[in-house]
Amino acid sequence: MKSLLLFGATGDLARRMLAPSLFGLDCDGLLPDDLRIVGAARSHLEQDAYRSLIEGALREFVEPDRLRPQCVAKFLDRVRYVPLDVTQPDQFLALRDALLRGEDGEKPADGLRIFLSTAPSLFGPTIAGLQSAGLTGDETRLALEKPLGHDLESSRAINDAVASVFPESRTFRIDHYLGKETVQNLLALRFGNALFEPLWNAQGIDHVQITVAEAVGVEGRLGFYDETGALRDMVQNHMLQLLALTAMEPPAHFDATSVRDEKVKVLRSLRPINHETAMTHTVIGQYGPGAVSGAPVKGYADELGRSSATETFVAIKAHVDNWRWRGIPFYLRTGKRLPTRSTEIFIQLKAVPHSIFAGPGAGLLPNKLIIRLQPEEAITLRVMLKEPGLDRAGMRLREAPLDISIPNAFADFRRRIAYERLLLDLLDGDSTLFVRRDEVEAQWAWIDAIRAGWAANGMTPRPYAAGTWGPSAAIGLTERDGVTWHD
């Protein structure tokens, strides 16, 4: 009998993502028959009450046509619950008993998989409790949700606590962006086609833009967000992972060591932004009142009920100092209460070296490759084509898209939640799409230097109206280089 032990099992992530993902896998017959899903959290719930909670989550977050009664019944049959306060070491014995005995006298779990979906401050006590209860044997794997600390030092402390019990090979750090199809498609696009790689360097590419724009505000996470800010919430993890996948060298193989070796080289090649360059290479903002999609919304400080120096927007001009990317800017931008929800990697290629299409109407523009992750998954290559007509004043060109909408191109495939992929990989022991310790720490080192640069320069967020693309200085950041943000 195998067990997936889920800490934080009554929480938002468990209800919204983890339970629906596990259900989706189960419904497609992808979970091992003998897998038991054991939820653990503080709430005192009977087994039936917990199963009702999970059933409610499935009804809320799974498409109704997927909720076939026999699938739901089969899934709920796998689910168990153990009430447990992880700060109380003695309570782990009850967990151990529940895992070892099971309800029907099965033998001890021979392949325990553990998923920590709790605040990171609970990781240390949880791991210590698991160890003292003998639940960290050689076969056990541990998955950890972000945030993995709030700076390099705290991240090291978490990583040390984990490493004292679980070797790196059995540690699975989640960045759910890596579970997204389009993120993996970036690898397929780059390394499965001869078309792009010859141009994928400083000779072929003019610059890269990575945008993660949210139309929503901080919603229910005010306390957490005010301690964190956009840089640590979005750039430190998701955006640097997107940058690393965009910029990395071809890995020797598509496996955990090869892919992560290449990513960490990129992260270590990021040019530090420090007290000398923080003012010129970063812009921070905080939204004030405004309107999003025509509806009036409050400013961040109004939502918080006090003024705050936390950034809800950040734009960065980054460089990867290596042979491939010498001199090529990577512009990163993320924020809340922007005009629209959009996540994309925008790659502008160099212009052709010489235009034969002389004349004012020629309209020759450089090619652009746009990899969109949200709201819809799509890959677009913008190419120059001839405008139809008789060209009495010379040939006129116009930009037109070669468009691949992933849902349309693969309409007969079900769209998966990123966590489905990651949970299945955890069960299978494949850590290719999980973040290695050296990556996380390289990410934090770069982020910490930026924050120190802000502090040294007394930088505080500039106001922007909700529903706009951040402070005007963010436009200046790229315009100085003759580059326009792709909105």
| Residues of the shown chain interacting with ligand NAP in the complex, contacts defined by CB under 6 A | 8-14, 41-43, 84-87, 117-120, 122, 145-147
Q: Angle CA(380)–CA(386)–CA(387) in degrees, nearest 5?
A: 100
Q: Which is nearer to ligand NAP, 41 or 189 (CB)?
A: 41
CB of 88 to ligand NAP, least distance (A): 8
Q: Angle CA(370)–CA(375)–CA(376) in degrees, nearest 5?
A: 65
Give dist(CA 338, CA 330) in Å, integer.
20
Q: Which is nearer to ligand NAP, 200 or 444 (CB)?
A: 444
CB of 178 to ligand NAP, least distance (A): 13
Closest CA to 268 of 395, 441, 415: 441
In angstroms, what is the C-alpha Rg of the chain? 24
Q: Which is nearer to ligand NAP, 71 or 79 (CB)?
A: 79
Q: Which is nearer to ligand NAP, 221 or 386 (CB)?
A: 221
Contact 62, 28 (CB under 8 A): no
DSSP code string of 23-68: HHHHHTT-S-TTEEEEEEESS---HHHHHHHHHHHHHHHS-GGG--
Q: Which of 150, 176, 207, 238 is catalytic?
A: 238
**Residue nearest ligand NAP (C-beta atom):** 11
CB of 371 to ligand NAP, least distance (A): 22
Q: What is the tally of helices (H) and strands (E) in the chain? A: 17, 17
User: CA distances (Å), 22 to each of 57, 69, 74, 76, 110, in order?
Assistant: 12, 16, 12, 11, 20
Give dist(CA 268, CA 195) in Å, integer.
28
Q: Is 238 a catalytic residue?
A: yes
CB of 130 to ligand NAP, least distance (A): 12
From start to end of 241-351, where are the E strands? 282-288, 290-292, 295-297, 313-319, 329-335, 342-349
CB of 254 to ligand NAP, least distance (A): 26
CB of 80 to ligand NAP, least distance (A): 15
Q: Which is nearer to ligand NAP, 82 or 278 (CB)?
A: 82
- For helices 47-61 and 69-78, what crossing angle results, to 10°? 140
The residue behind tokens 């960290």 is: 136
Q: Which is nearer to ligand NAP, 119 or 385 (CB)?
A: 119
Indicate which residues carry an active-site annotation: 238
